[in-house]
Structure 1
Amino acid sequence: MPVDDLWHLRGKDPATGRRRPSKRHGRGKRWRVRGIDPQTGEPRTELFERKVDADRHDVNMHADISRGQYIDPRAGRVTVAEYAETWQTTQLHRDSTADLVERALRLHIGPVLGHHAMADVRPSHLRAWVKETSTVLAPSTVHLVFSYLRSLFGAAVSDRVIATSPCSGVRLPEIDKRDYFIPGPEKVHALASLIAERYPTAPYVAAGCGLRGGEIFGLELDDVDLDAGETRAVRQRKRMVGAPAYLGELKSRSSRRTVELPDIVADALRDHIATYPPAVVEIEDRTDPRNAVVRPARLLFVTGNGLALHRSNWSTVWRSAVRRARLPRGFGLHGLRHYFATLLIHNGASVKTVQLALGHSSPMITLNTYAHEWPDALDRTRTLVDTALRV
């Protein structure tokens, strides 16, 4: 890649022996580096005011090309908003995750960082973004949104849009240890007795089987085997903003599981099915994303009008029951899943047992959520050490 002096013509004046000035002598940047872009095969040039800068660029270009690390500077001129739009369409996100990513980009990333060129974003920009965002979002949400940023810039490095990710070394706010409110058995019974008449079985399924709300709302008659004392979690009821509810994939592959039915839950389900025989509901099934179909489903839990339950039409029913049962405001159906987990833990269940029962994707998730619920772990450690070392 030659370095050209744009202020002088090639060769010297025969009369004076000096270099001849060009038409642009004294105007604009003097030094030009010419070459062929190794990625596109197109000719490209870079202009510099000082020769030392042009020579350094030329040397670095040759070194990057030989190492296979060359990045076209023009690629990094695309804005964060433009690259994010392309990046988002290529991700294998589940529909609910895709909705979260779209909202994060539109509400929290685009307004602050969207106008920057990808190559211009520095860790200092992201530190300022974290500080500003932390004033309006919870620490856990900041971590979630930043994970999308990390993925976005990581993809840009892989695509050779930028050389390095600005996300490295950016400190995020600490997430306070969450203190879940765990109700006692009397509160579980209170919820079941005080909730609207069609739904007293739902709290028992959550507290006795540990199913998520969407998994409960997605239960069909064929998923329950009362004779064997089992129920299967194979789908969940989902709904995107502004769209009809549908049956979709579970949260993770390990969420697909068979759960034992305690007698109290089996009896409640038996009474529910007898009192409210599941009617056929036509609903879109996206559990196989490659083959979405509208099919008849015999859902166990529907509204009085025969509509499938989802968070929107369930929230009013649930909040009323929570208030009447005198549970903390904001206590959700997921709180009964925590009740189920802690019940297992306090009765000696291992981490692996709890993980499989809850459908967590890894034991680490179970430990991160419930480590403090193994109350005798410290005492056991002390006993083991004392027994081994005491003479």
Structure 2
Amino acid sequence: MAWVTKRKSASGSIRYQGRYRDPHGEKRTAGTFSTSREALKSAMKAEGKVADGTWIDPRGGAITFREYAEDVWLPSRHLEVSTRAGYSSYLRNHFVPFFGAMPLARIMPSTVQDWVSGAAARGLSPRSVAKYHVMLHSVFARAVRDRLIAFNPCEDTELPKVVTRRVRTLTPEEFAGVLAEIPDRFKPLVMTAIETGLRWGELVALRPRHVDFLRRTITVEETIVEVSRRDSPTGERMIVKPYPKDDEPRTLRVSQGLLDVLAARIAALGLARDDLLFPSRETAGGQPLSRATFNTRHWRPAVQRAGVDFDLRMHDLRHAHASWLLAGGADLKAVMERMGHSQIMTTQQYLHTLPEAQDEALAAFERIRTR
């Protein structure tokens, strides 16, 4: 129950302080007034907010953004290693330099809008701004739930428009040209990527024991996450996780041609069952291959030499795998299973038509019109 205490000011006048208990039972002050009635009214108002769950800790908003984000918000999240490392990097590079020393209660919607405008002016893409804003919104949403601030300043932020680029699908002929330019030691890696559609982390985590030559399958049981040592919770740059992204191993049928290539590689390098199939060095027991190193030294130069006229990423082989399957008549559910997706909606985002699809569609239309 709210109450009032009497105090004498430095000038000798009598002042009245409204008092109440917060949700944790701690004594709080609702302000100091010249009359007992005003003090009690203020204390009862604060007590009512405690009762209906709308009370905000007046001292909580004084915590800085950096303190809250790094010491409260991030540790409370249940995240994969790569996601946690990414969030740590975003905080360090994008948010702490701008919001870090600001008390949470002082960050207004206009403050967030200033950050968005500044990020766009510095050349950050609209897609990246939108992605980082989602994370920022999550930080403040947690602060609202913790009763530190009354509202989320990320609500109704005007974000730069994200223009969806038209995805160009790699054709089989273009892939053959790129493969011809890939150094021989990496050809098995690229051939496995196009035939399985594996994510990079799943690809470089493959070991001989994952290949079943009798059943002609490859089983995805592990993934390797590459993070900055500075943001890694373990201090390691390459982290092996026991299961892939959806936490459930999956088995893919592959061609005899690819199996022959992998068998020759295993024999040539003398790989044991638990060695990596595609290590950074061509030796048994080698370390995981870095995506950045492979892209810079081998993939991009090969794409350039092949004369591919669009920005082709290694990850686009995954898109091509799904698109080729669909163009060849594969069932959408089968494509979903090969891609390791839990929802067909996710798979549909990877399915892009080949350049000649429009010609084939028009030819089909003409066949019906002229029959």
The answer, yes or no, to whether TM exceeds 0.5 is yes
Q: Given the alignment of the two structures, is residue 173 of structure 1 paired with residue 160 of structure 2, yes or no?
A: yes
CA 1:65–1:277 in structure 2 vs 1: closer, same or farther (change >3 Å)? same
1:310 aligns with 2:290: yes
- Matches of 1:277 and 1:90, distance apart in 2: 45
What is the aligned residue count? 345
Cα offset for 1:116? 1.8
Question: Shift of residue 222 of structure 1?
Answer: 0.6
Q: Please tell me whether residue 268 in structure 1 is matched to residue 261 in structure 2.
A: yes
Q: What runs of 5+ residues in structure 1 fail to find an aligned partner? A: 10-21, 281-296, 384-391
How far 1:158 sits from its partner (Å)? 2.7
- Which of 45, 48, 57 aligns to 2:29? It is 45
**More RCO (CA 8 Å, sep 6+):** 2
Residues 56 and 80 of structure 1: is their aligned pair in 2 closer, same or farther, counting only changes over 3 Å?
farther
**Distance of 2:260 and 2:192 partners within structure 1:** 11
Please give the TM-score of this superposition, normalised by the length of structure 1.
Answer: 0.77
Is the deviation greater in 316-325 or in 75-84? Answer: 316-325
Q: 1:240-271 deviations in whole A, cap 9, x for unaligned?
A: 22444342255522563111113443333233
In structure 2, the CA distance between the partners of 1:66 and 1:197, relative to structure 1 (3 Å rule), is: same
Q: From the superposition, tell whether residues 373 and 317 of structure 1 become closer, same or farther in structure 2 (CA, over 3 Å).
A: closer
8 Å contact 1:180–1:335 — kept in the other structure? no
State the one-letter code of the partner of 1:257.
R
Distance 1:370 1:123, change over 3 A: farther
**1:333-348 equivalent positions in 2, closer than 5 A:** 333-348=314-329
TM-score w.r.t. structure 2 length? 0.81
Greater shift in the superposed pair: 178-187 or 90-99: 178-187
Amino acid at match of 1:309: L
The answer (yes or no) to whether the contact 2:20–2:47 under 8 Å persists in 1 is: no
Asked if the contact 1:31/1:48 (under 8 Å) is kept, the reply is: yes
Cα shift readout 1:152-176 (whole Å, capped 9, x = no counterpart): 2222223222233222222333322
**Helix, strand or coil: the match of 1:198?**
helix
SS of the residue 2:149 aligns to? coil
Structure 2 counterpart of 1:119: 105
Offset of residue 59 of structure 1:
4.7
1:130 alignment counterpart: 116
Is contact 1:239–1:246 with CA below 8 Å preserved after alignment?
A: yes
Please name the residue that 2:275 is paired with: 298
The aligned residue for residue 337 of structure 2 is 356
Does structure 1 residue 91 correspond to structure 2 residue 72?
no
Residues 1-391 of structure 1 aligned to structure 2 (within 5 Å): 1-2=2-3, 23-24=10-11, 32-39=17-24, 41-47=25-31, 57-86=42-71, 87-135=73-121, 136-242=123-229, 243-250=236-243, 252-253=245-246, 256-279=249-272, 297-302=274-279, 303-304=281-282, 306-315=286-295, 316-328=297-309, 330-370=311-351
| In 2: Cα distance, 1:178 partner to 1:353 partner | 27
Q: Percent identity?
A: 29
SS of the residue aligned with 2:61?
Answer: helix
Once the two structures are superposed, residues 29-52 of structure 1 have per-residue CA deviations (whole angstroms, 9 ceiling, x without a partner) of: x7642222232x222214367989
Mean CA deviation greater in 54-63 or 152-161: 54-63
Cα distance in 2 for residues equivalent to 1:223 and 1:129: 47
CA-based RMSD of the aligned residues comes to: 3.2
Does the residue aligned with 2:186 lie in a helix, a strand or coil? Answer: coil
Maintained 8 Å contact 1:214/1:310: no
Question: CA offset at residue 94 of structure 1?
Answer: 1.5
Query: Match of 1:133, as an amino acid?
Result: A
Q: Is the 8 A contact 1:252 1:361 kept in 2?
A: no
Q: Work out which of the two has the higher radius of gyration on C-alpha atoms and give 1 or 2.
A: 1
Task: Kindly indicate whether the alpha-carbon contact (under 8 Å) linking 2:204 and 2:276 is maintained by their aligned counterparts in 1.
Answer: yes
For the residues of structure 2 that align with 1:221 and 1:53, how far apart are their CA atoms? 78
In structure 2, distance between residues paired with 1:166 and 1:354: 42
| Matches of 2:154 and 2:110, distance apart in 1 | 10
| SS at structure 2 position matched to 1:164 | coil
